[in-house]
Amino acid sequence: MYSVLTKPPMQGFLAKRLRFHFVGAFAVSLGVAAFYKFAVAEPRKKAYADFYRNYDSMKDFEEMKVGIFQSTK
C-alpha cells in the first residue's frame, strides 16, 4: 500500500554542485574573454593603428579653422 521513500543523498551535495558550477563558470568566463578580445579589442586596436598611421594633425587643424576655431585666423 504505502512505499517508504529513501532519503536523498545530502552529504557532500553542496560541495559537488559547487565544484561543477565553478568549473562551468570558469569555462564560460574564459570563452567570453576570448570572444571579447578577438571580436572587439583586436579590431579596435587595428582601426586606431590604421587611423593614426597616416594622420596629419596640422591638416586636420587647418580644416577645423574654418568652422570651429574661427578665432585662430
Q: What share of the chain is helix, strand, coil (3-state, %, to 5)?
A: 75, 0, 25
Side-chain half-sphere exposure of 34, counting CA atoms within 13 A: 6
pLDDT (0 to 100) of residue 73? 56
pLDDT (0 to 100) of residue 72? 60
pLDDT (0 to 100) of residue 71? 67
| Per-residue tens of pLDDT for the chain, all 73 residues | 678 888 888 888 899 999 999 999 999 999 999 999 999 999 999 999 999 999 999 998 888 777 766 666 5
Indicate the domain borders of the chain. 40-66
Query: Rounded to two decimals, what is the model's pTM?
Result: 0.64
- Tell me how many degrees the CA angle 66-72-73 measures, rounded to the nearest 5: 70
